[in-house]
Amino acid sequence: MTVLKIITYPDPFLKKKTKPVEDINDDIKKLIEDMADTMYEAPGVGLAAIQVGEDRSIIVFDPEADKENRPYQVLINPEIVSTEGELLSENEGCLSVPEFRSDVKRAEFAVVTGLDIQGNPVRIDAQGLLAVILQHEIDHLNGILFIDRISSLKRGIYKRKVKKQLRENE
């Protein structure tokens, strides 16, 4: 079990758009296992490779975050192909944006495609929490944090809090 370091805001690496995975080799499979270990240890329900310093288009997720069974899923090169409806993701949080939660408007339904760990095509018709998780993690792959989707007032409050903490820790 390898737990990776999670990069946190305001690290500029989190704003980077990731590169697609061209070859699902042993290094990629090891990264995926380490990402899953990291997600469960954090604990979280999803994690994007960019959050652990890897410029790769990979996400792992488990809406139930069951440490006993660890039935996580992986999507390589995921894309949202369609969305429908709207819901308010209440109290959404992020492992890269510690100690802050906020309500975020998300699509209620999302169709997502990508590849599994064997390179087979996958299509997920997601709704509710799973749709929110997939949207959140795919946002990461595009350099978007959930705080980019909240009001500028709430975002400003969080940014000031982080700057103050950074000054105090110097």
- Rounded CA separation 77/22 (Å): 9
Catalytic residue among 41, 86, 90, 137: 137
Would residue 137 show up in a list of annotated catalytic residues for this protein? yes
Q: Is 169 helix (H, G, I), strand (E, B) or coil?
A: helix
- Rounded CA separation 149/105 (Å): 8
How far from 86 is each of 106, 112, 127, 145, 168, CA to CA, in Å? 6, 16, 10, 19, 40
26 sits in which H/E element: helix 26-41
Report the catalytic residues: 137
